[in-house]
Amino acid sequence: MNNLVEKYLRLNQVPTKACHGCGIGMIENWLLQAIDEVGFKRQDVIFGTGIGCVGRQTFATWGGDNFGATHGRALAVATGLKLAQPDKKYLIVVGDGDAAAIGTSHLIHAARRNLGVTVICEDNMGYESTGGQFSPTTPADYVTNSSPYGMVEPSFDPCEVVKAAGATFVAETTAVQWNQTIKIVKKALQNDGFSFVHVRFPCNENFGAYALGTRDTMKNLEWIWEHTKGKKANGEESDFKWETGIKHDASNSRPEFSRLLRDLIGRAQRKDEGRAEAAR
């Protein structure tokens, strides 16, 4: 058994509950590698997640403290926990539904505040746990269970949104870029403020079946690879290209929210104490 699994996870939650060929198990392994290489112990990190494929696979897997929130609300819960326990490292693992749809407002304001959490958005480009409906990150023109003639809406880019909102670290990667992903997550974890890492991965059961016409893991991973390079295996250009890598790095460039708030409370308390002393 992987020594990182024994070191960090609950063994009764292993192996992953994800479908065969799903990227969630791969990404979780890379997160463990990043955590270990940075030097965090299990008791240093609190895992949080929401609802959907990502939430179902990651909730209660972490061997330390963790929580499962309702759909899109993981960052609301994380905000309260960070204010109560500011010295913990928070790793919030959510899906595209959590981050780019119902939970977008929480994502924006956590970035605006520079809340000290690392968000890993594991994006399978649809609502795969409920049958494969399209989500805001489904590529345009691709067929899903709820877009049988192709996705007519333009795809939503959560990286651009959190960058504009004030996130101090923003990056994008995919399930075929394991080395890059580990390096990016390590950088994200070392930022005291708000970090956002967008990781696209294939869903064989729904996105693969509807959009690509196959449930073959290697063919779906090849589709991901083509769109990180902008070229197909035969040398032809792909229909679009994802620009992966670090998109914005202003790590530790402005104060983290929970520390700002604690400083404010301390100043207010000292001011009140001074007033009380003067009134005596």
Whether residue 279 is predicted with pLDDT greater than 90 in this model: the reply is no
* Dihedral in degrees, nearest 10, Cα atoms 125, 92, 107, 161: -60
Lookup: tokens for 1: 């058994």
Query: Quick one: residue 216, left, alpha or beta (phi over 0 = left, psi -120 to 50 = alpha)?
Result: beta
Instruction: Mention every residue, 6+ apart, whose C-beta is less than 8 A from residue 270.
Output: none
| Residue position matching structure tokens 């509950």 | 17
SS3 for the chain is CCHHHHHHECHHHCCCCCCCCCHHHHHHHHHHHHHHHHCCCHHHEEEEECCCHHHHHHCCCECCCEEECCCCCHHHHHHHHHHHCCCCEEEEEEEHHHHHHHCHHHHHHHHHHCCCEEEEEEECCCEHHHCCECCCCCCCCCCECCECCCCCCCCCCHHHHHHHHCCCEEEEEECCCHHHHHHHHHHHHCCCCCEEEEEECCCHHHHHHHHHCCCCHHHHHHHHHHHHHCECCCCCECCCCCCCEEEEECCCCCCCHHHHHHHHHHHHHHHHHHHHHHHC
- C-alpha distances (whole Å) from 111 to each of 158, 159, 167, 257 are 11, 11, 5, 10
pLDDT digits (tens, 9 = 90+) for 18-32: 888 898 988 999 999
Find the radius of gyration of the CA atoms of the chain. Answer: 20
pLDDT digits (tens, 9 = 90+) for 176-226: 999 999 999 999 999 999 999 999 998 999 999 999 999 999 999 999 999
**How far does Cα 133 stand from its chain's mean position?**
20
Q: Would you state the pLDDT for residue 13?
A: 85
Instruction: Mention every residue, 6+ apart, whose C-beta is less than 8 A from residue 186.
Output: 34, 37, 38
| Residue position matching structure tokens 């974890």 | 189
- The answer to whether the beta carbons of residues 142 and 208 sit under 8 Å apart is no
Which domains does the chain carry? Answer: 3-279 (3.40.50.970)
Q: Is the dihedral of CA 268, 273, 278, 280 positive or negative?
A: positive
What is the average per-residue pLDDT within 89-104? 95
What is the average per-residue pLDDT within 140-149? 96
Give the number of other Cβ atoms within 10 Å of residue 205's Cβ: 20
Q: What angle do CA 226, 229, 232 make, to 5 degrees?
A: 40
Q: pTM for the complete prediction? A: 0.95
What is the average per-residue pLDDT within 92-118? 96
Among 56-60, 90-94, 111-115, the least confident range: 56-60
* Cis amide bond preceding 15, omega within 30: yes
What is the average per-residue pLDDT within 108-123? 98
Q: 16 or 87, which is more confident?
A: 87
What is the average per-residue pLDDT within 224-233? 94
What is the average per-residue pLDDT within 84-112? 96
**Percentage of the chain with pLDDT > 90?**
84
Band (78; pLDDT cuts 50, 70, 90): very high
